[in-house]
Amino acid sequence: MNYLTQQLKQATAQIMNIAGGPLSVVFVTKGTYVPGVSTTNTETKIAGRGAWMDHQEKWSEATFDGTLILRGDKILYLEPSSLFPRHPTPDKDFVEDASGARWKIIGKRDNNPSGEAPICYFLLMRK
């Protein structure tokens, strides 16, 4: 069992408490946003309420509203449209894709004190 899988298993109960019910994991990934290589990325506007994990490994509820930058099926970065995290709003519980499927976003963002690009961890989950 790799480190990421262990972390996910340990965080599952906390995630369920924040999300308020059972969710299914779609995929999880990590990456850094690299300016200058965005030509190979796709950008998707998203909005949804989920949770984020702080540097003390505690989950907090947050609203995601911004641009999700992808390369293939890997999430590179969530570029918020305002300060991150935002306070949750009741009208943004889910992200809805083109097919009408509703997705819950759970995520982690570490701000790198050295000033480099932040490392982001996201779990996309569907209720």
Q: Are strands 59-71 and 119-126 parallel, antiparallel or unpaired?
A: unpaired
First-residue to last-residue Cα distance in the chain: 26
Q: Report the pLDDT value the prediction gives residue 71, as an integer from 0 to 100.
A: 53
Q: Report the pLDDT value the prediction gives residue 118, as an integer from 0 to 100.
A: 45
pLDDT in tens, 47-97: 554 444 444 455 555 555 555 555 554 444 454 443 333 333 334 444 454
Q: Distance of CA 53 to CAs 43, 88, 97, 113, Å?
A: 23, 15, 24, 17
- Mean pLDDT along residues 86-109: 45
**pTM exceeds cut of 0.95:** no
Contacts 24+ apart (CB under 8 A), 110-113: 110/55
- Mean pLDDT along residues 103-117: 47
More confident position, 16 or 118: 16
CB contact at 8 A, 59 and 49: no
pLDDT bin (cut points 50, 70, 90) of residue 119 is very low
Q: Report the pLDDT value the prediction gives residue 39, as an integer from 0 to 100.
A: 43
pLDDT in tens, 14-32: 555 555 554 444 433 444 4
Q: Report the pLDDT value the prediction gives residue 33, as an integer from 0 to 100.
A: 42
